[in-house]
């Protein structure tokens, strides 16, 4: 069954979900965006509106184009609007049991030919696909954060994913104006397999007192020409997500080099998750980021 993708469902209206909804609407797709929280849906639409307004100010679009994009996004706290969706992209928290529960509830609502994609940044696509009634129509489509600005999308097929699903997904990503890189279904895929151990090593460097937050981030920005220091980047990603990916790597590859730094664990236990909670390796409450160590 080949699929002509016209309507896209997005599950989760957090940082990733709202970005995916925006780029799909901008590419001409009708979008159904769902979240458990009505407040989160309102915030997501307001954030998309603000982002498009900033693009208007920079001359990137006019008011008619902005209105057209926003008109394509419909929100709901139910899965019912996915009944006529051609593809549904799950963008929930990086937690396997949460994702599996979503797929169990989602599948009965979908038409038989609909594709399901997960935006997971680390979890096995084969294993997640097995939680659905259509593993051959299940695929990993991993967007980078922030979705509207980042060019790359990782495409990951599970063992059961069929060729039609893969080709339809590749074409879909192309229509979004993104670049595809294909990864095998190994823990954390390509980007996070390389990036997260680097961030974890930066946290170890802090934990062992080799350098302060400021020293480590300055060293990598000016010494390795990175646009953002690793600890600043960890705060942007979310320390809970960083920890989840390291745990997937550590458990999936059984190699001690992927052991999450105890300091990263401590920050997550404290609820210091980075920018989204106003505190992580930096304190953002004053409006100016201040290192916390």
Q: What are the pLDDT digits (tens) for 12-69?
A: 999 999 999 999 999 999 999 999 999 999 999 999 999 999 999 998 899 999 999 9
pLDDT of residue 241 exceeding 80: yes
% of the chain at pLDDT higher than 70: 99
Q: Tell me if the bond preceding 146 is cis, omega within 30° of 0.
A: yes
Q: Look at residues 126, 119, 186 and name the one whose alpha carbon lies nearest to residue 158.
A: 126
Give the separation between CA 134 and CA 117, rounded to whole angstroms. Answer: 11
Segment among 1-10, 79-88, 169-178, 194-203 with least mean pLDDT: 1-10
Task: Indicate the pLDDT class of residue 244, thresholds 50, 70 and 90.
Answer: very high
pLDDT of residue 87 exceeding 80: yes
Which of 122, 192, 200, 244 does the annotation list as catalytic?
A: 192
pLDDT in tens, 95-116: 999 999 999 999 999 999 999 9
Q: Give pTM, 2 decimals.
A: 0.93
Give the separation between CA 218 and CA 212, rounded to whole angstroms. Answer: 10
Which of 90, 118, 136, 142 does the annotation list as catalytic?
A: 142
* pLDDT for residue 40: 97
Whether 144 and 153 have beta carbons less than 8 Å apart is answered as: yes
Do β-strands 7-11 and 87-90 pair in parallel, antiparallel, or remain unpaired? parallel
DSSP letter for 158, please: -
Q: What is the mean pLDDT of residues 240-257?
A: 96
pLDDT of residue 200 exceeding 90: yes
Give the separation between CA 236 and CA 259, rounded to whole angstroms. Answer: 21
Residues listed for the chain: 293
Mean predicted lDDT score pLDDT of the chain: 97
Angle, CA 124 vertex, CA 119 and CA 125 arms, to 5°: 60
* pLDDT for residue 2: 66
CATH code of the domain occupying 7-183:
3.40.50.720
225 given a catalytic annotation: no
**Coil, strand or helix at 131:** coil
pLDDT of residue 141 exceeding 90: yes
Query: How far separated are the first and last CA of the chain, in Å rounded?
Result: 55
Burial of 2 (0-12, 13-18, 19+ CB in 10 A): exposed
Dihedral of the alpha carbons of 73, 79, 81, 83, in degrees to the nearest 10: 130
Give the separation between CA 111 and CA 129, rounded to whole angstroms. Answer: 17
Task: Give the domain ranges of the chain.
Answer: 7-183, 191-291
Which of 94, 154, 183, 200 does the annotation list as catalytic?
A: 154
Which of 119, 121, 122, 244 does the annotation list as catalytic?
A: 121
| Count of C-beta atoms within a 10 Å radius of residue 198 | 14
* pLDDT for residue 166: 97
Task: Indicate the pLDDT class of residue 3, thresholds 50, 70 and 90.
Answer: confident
Domain 191-291 coded CATH 1.10.1040.10: yes
Do β-strands 30-34 and 7-11 pair in parallel, antiparallel, or remain unpaired? parallel
Give the separation between CA 276 and CA 280, rounded to whole angstroms. Answer: 9
Helix (H) or strand (E) holding 270: none
Helix (H) or strand (E) holding 141: strand 138-143
Burial of 85 (0-12, 13-18, 19+ CB in 10 A): buried
154 given a catalytic annotation: yes
* pLDDT for residue 60: 85
Pull the structure tokens for residue 122. Answer: 């680390």
Paired residues of 138 in beta bridges? 116
Give the separation between CA 168 and CA 173, rounded to whole angstroms. Answer: 9
Half-sphere CA count of 110, side-chain side, radius 13 A: 26
Q: What is the mean pLDDT of residues 144-167?
A: 97
142 given a catalytic annotation: yes
Give the separation between CA 17 and CA 36, rounded to whole angstroms. Answer: 13
pLDDT of residue 1 exceeding 90: no
- At 252, give phi and psi (nearest 5°): -75, -30
pLDDT of residue 126 exceeding 70: yes
């Amino acid at each position: 069954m080949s699929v002509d993708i016209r309507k896209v469902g997005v599950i989760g209206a957090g940082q990733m979900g709202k970005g995916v909804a925006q780029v799909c609407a901008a590419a001409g797709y009708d979008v159904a965006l769902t979240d458990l929280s009505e407040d989160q849906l309102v915030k997501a639409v307001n954030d998309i509106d603000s982002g498009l307004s900033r693009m208007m100010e920079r001359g990137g679009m006019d008011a008619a184009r902005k209105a057209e994009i926003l008109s394509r996004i419909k929100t709901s706290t139910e899965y019912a609007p996915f009944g006529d969706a051609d593809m549904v992209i799950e963008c929930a928290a990086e937690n396997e049991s949460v994702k599996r529960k979503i797929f169990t509830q989602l599948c009965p609502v979908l038409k038989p030919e609909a594709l399901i994609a997960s935006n997971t940044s680390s979890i096995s696509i084969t294993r997640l696909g097995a939680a659905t009634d259509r593993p051959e129509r299940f695929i990993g489509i991993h967007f980078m954060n922030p979705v509207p600005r980042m060019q790359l999308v990782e495409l990951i097929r599970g063992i059961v994913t069929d060729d039609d699903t893969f080709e339809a997904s590749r074409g879909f990503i192309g229509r979004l104006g993104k670049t595809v890189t294909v990864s095998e279904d190994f823990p954390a895929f390509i980007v996070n397999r390389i990036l997260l151990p680097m961030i974890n090593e930066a946290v170890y460097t802090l934990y062992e007192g080799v350098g302060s937050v400021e020293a480590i981030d300055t060293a990598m920005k000016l010494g390795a020409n990175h646009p953002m220091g690793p600890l600043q980047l960890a705060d942007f990603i979310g320390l809970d997500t960083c920890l989840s990916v390291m745990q997937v790597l550590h458990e999936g590859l059984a190699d001690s080099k992927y052991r999450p730094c105890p300091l990263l664990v401590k920050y997550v236990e404290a609820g210091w998750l980075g920018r989204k909670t106003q505190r992580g390796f930096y304190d953002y409450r004053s409006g100016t980021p201040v290192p916390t160590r």
